[in-house]
């Protein structure tokens, strides 16, 4: 018997047999099981369970060959000709169009450029400027620009408050503070669930994380956005932990601005560029605080004054990161034939199953599951509060279970339905129990 079995007795053996049999059945009937082969993963014999796709997604198998082609042919032989001949120049918009269906956006509203933090800054400042100008106020194209009707709250004397969800990712908070200083706003932190009741005539904008990065709690995007619009407030949503993990439906819910990274559930690779969504009718009023040459209406005219381009191109700043951008473009091929509904169904089943295994295997009182049990409130991760998490996670990784730590006491496990199986979830829970018992 293992240490865990010795500590818990024969009942645990029965639990293990039951859960392993259930995992085998679930994996055998998984409609996404075949997608796993599109990734570079450890062999089953290696015993490695990768549950950190919510920090860095696994490598899609087609990316190395594509990068070799970009480096050897497009950069190595064609060199500068590739900007036109191989479509480098249009890649930010082209890759944006590949991401758009994964976040519920129609064409022409998503651009891939810069980092999440930079895009948060652009979107928050632009949102505040729109709100402060009022429905009849100017955008960069002048008074009466399209999009004014989106905020029925009317013209107000002063909108000087930026609401930020109290559990926001730290970098989002840093960018929000800088945006507030630039626009003459003060920041007020509010629990995400309480935001609808807090929007008022002085609220300029709100910044909300769709999924809490610590707990995996999924916040109410439709309800919060609708409440904000009733108060004349634009909202910026951070989709880093939801894009590629669950349906988002930005257009359906009339979201104003959204940003997100592409190296988590979208598997774009380390440092892959982020995306920026600006709803179509707001684009003429999108006044970016970072007007760069590639977002100019005539980028090669080198004019001394700035005239913004139209459409999603307005979200660009400088020269695109071509190697990372084209790696991401290739990585998105793994989504061919995959529906987000299937991804969401498997995500919920995986996180349910893992949580049940942990509850059955782990020594009583050693961990507390702080991820919401209710499906509508859960992202695609399970977070366990553990007093000695800083010691437990390194031991787990030594045993081949790759999760991550959120200090001071949270063990975080991300489930990527495209390549995580139910046997993976069972094995991870069992090894966790062994480590907790040791």
Select which of 36, 122, 217, 264 is catalytic: 264
Note if 412 is an active site residue. yes
Residue with tokens 């696994």: 58
DSSP 52-75: BTTTSPPEETTHHHHHHHIIIIII
Closest-CA residue to 386 (of 409, 358, 406): 409
Other Cβ atoms less than 10 A from the Cβ of 167: the count is 17
What does the alpha-carbon distance between residue 259 and residue 334 come to, in Å, rounded to a whole number? 21
* Token digits of residue 36: 């796993």
Residue with tokens 């064609």: 78
Note if 238 is an active site residue. yes
Select which of 238, 256, 321, 424 is catalytic: 238
Maximum Cα interatomic distance, the chain, rounded to a whole number of Å: 78
Residue with tokens 């240490």: 3
DSSP 29-44: T-TTGGGGGGEE---G
Q: Using 70 as the pLDDT threshold, list the residues of the chain that sit under it.
A: 1-13, 44, 136-157
Please give the pLDDT value at position 46: 81
C-alpha angle with apex 419: 326 to 212, nearest 5 degrees? Answer: 80
How large is the C-alpha radius of gyration of the chain? 23
Q: Is the dihedral of CA 164, 166, 168, 172 positive or negative?
A: positive
Note if 264 is an active site residue. yes
Select which of 217, 285, 412, 427 is catalytic: 412
What does the alpha-carbon distance between residue 197 and residue 362 come to, in Å, rounded to a whole number? 40
What percent helix, strand, coil does the chain show, rounded to 5?
Answer: 45, 15, 40
Query: Is residue 368 helix, strand or coil?
Result: strand
* Token digits of residue 370: 């702080």
Please give the pLDDT value at position 139: 57
φ and ψ of 272, to 5 deg: -60, 145
What does the alpha-carbon distance between residue 354 and residue 337 come to, in Å, rounded to a whole number? 26
Please give the pLDDT value at position 229: 97
Q: What is the model's pTM?
A: 0.93
Q: Report the DSSP pairing between strands 203-209 and 235-238.
A: parallel
* Token digits of residue 30: 């998984």
Residues sharing a CB contact under 8 Å with residue 301, sequence separation 6 or more, in sequence order: none
Strands (E), 154-278: 161-165, 186-190, 203-209, 235-238, 257-260, 275-278
Please give the pLDDT value at position 43: 79
Asked if omega into 408 is within 30° of 0 (cis), the reply is: yes
* Token digits of residue 276: 């920026």
Under 8 Å between Cβ of 418 and 36: yes
Measure Cα distances from 263 to 167, 229, 272, 391 in Å. Answer: 22, 31, 6, 27
Select which of 263, 265, 361, 419 is catalytic: 263
φ and ψ of 319, to 5 deg: -60, 130
DSSP state of 288: -
Please give the pLDDT value at position 157: 54
Bridge partners, residue 49, by sequence: 401
What does the alpha-carbon distance between residue 319 and residue 89 come to, in Å, rounded to a whole number? 9
In the chain, the domains with their CATH numbers are: 3-61+339-437 (3.90.1150.10), 68-335 (3.40.640.10)
Closest-CA residue to 12 (of 367, 392, 350, 20): 20
The region, left, alpha or beta by phi > 0 then psi within -120 to 50, assigned to residue 238 is beta
* Token digits of residue 418: 């495209």
Other Cβ atoms less than 10 A from the Cβ of 40: the count is 12
What does the alpha-carbon distance between residue 105 and residue 97 come to, in Å, rounded to a whole number? 9
Please give the pLDDT value at position 13: 58
Select which of 169, 199, 286, 415 is catalytic: 169
Residues 419-433 as b or e (16 or more Cβ within 10 Å = b): bbbbbbbbbbbbbbb
Helices (H) and strands (E) in the chain, counts: 13, 15
Compute the half-sphere exposure of residue 89: CA atoms within 13 Å on the CB side of its CA.
Answer: 12
C-alpha angle with apex 24: 23 to 29, nearest 5 degrees? Answer: 100
Please give the pLDDT value at position 3: 41
């Amino acid at each position: 018997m293992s240490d865990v079995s010795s500590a818990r007795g024969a009942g645990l053996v029965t639990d293990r047999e039951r859960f392993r049999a259930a995992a085998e059945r679930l994996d055998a009937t998984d409609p996404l099981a075949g997608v796993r082969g599109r990734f570079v993963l450890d062999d089953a014999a290696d015993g490695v369970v990768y549950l950190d796709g919510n920090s860095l997604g696994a490598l899609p198998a087609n990316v190395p060959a594509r990068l070799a082609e970009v480096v050897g042919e497009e950069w190595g032989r064609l060199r500068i000709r590739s900007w036109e001949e191989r479509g480098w120049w249009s890649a930010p918009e082209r890759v944006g169009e590949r991401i758009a269906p994964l976040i519920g956006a129609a064409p022409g509203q998503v651009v891939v450029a810069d980092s999440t933090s930079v895009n948060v800054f652009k979107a928050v400042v632009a949102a505040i400027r729109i709100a402060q100008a009022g429905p009849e106020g100017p955008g960069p194209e002048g008074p009466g620009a399209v999009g004014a009707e989106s905020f029925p709250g009317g013209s107000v004397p002063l909108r000087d408050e930026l609401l930020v969800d109290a559990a926001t990712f730290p970098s989002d908070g840093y960018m929000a503070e800088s945006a507030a200083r630039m626009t003459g706003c003060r920041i007020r932190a509010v629990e995400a669930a309480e935001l609808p009741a807090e929007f008022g005539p002085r609220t300029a904008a709100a910044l909300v994380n769709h999924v809490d990065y610590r707990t995996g709690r999924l916040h109410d995007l439709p309800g919060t956005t609708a409440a904000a619009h009733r108060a004349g407030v634009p909202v910026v949503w951070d989709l880093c932990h939801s894009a590629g993990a669950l349906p988002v439906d930005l257009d359906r819910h009339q979201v104003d601005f959204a940003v997100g990274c592409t190296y988590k559930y979208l598997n774009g690779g380390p440092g892959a560029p982020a995306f920026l969504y600006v709803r179509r009718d707001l684009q003429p009023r999108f006044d970016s605080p970072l007007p760069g040459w590639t977002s100019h209406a005539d980028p090669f005219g080198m004019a001394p004054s700035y005239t913004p381009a139209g459409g999603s191109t307005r979200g660009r700043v400088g020269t695109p990161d071509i190697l990372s951008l084209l790696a991401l473009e290739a990585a998105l091929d793994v989504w061919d034939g995959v529906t987000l509904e299937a991804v969401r169904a498997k995500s919920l089943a995986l996180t349910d199953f893992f949580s049940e295994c942990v509850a059955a295997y782990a020594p009583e009182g050693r961990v507390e599951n702080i991820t919401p049990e209710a499906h509508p409130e859960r992202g695609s991760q399970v977070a366990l509060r553990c007093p000695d998490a800083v010691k437990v996670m390194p031991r787990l990784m030594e045993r081949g279970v790759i999760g991550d730590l959120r200090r001071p006491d949270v063990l975080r496990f991300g489930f990527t339905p495209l390549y995580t199986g139910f046997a993976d979830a069972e094995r991870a829970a069992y090894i966790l129990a062994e480590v907790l018992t040791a």
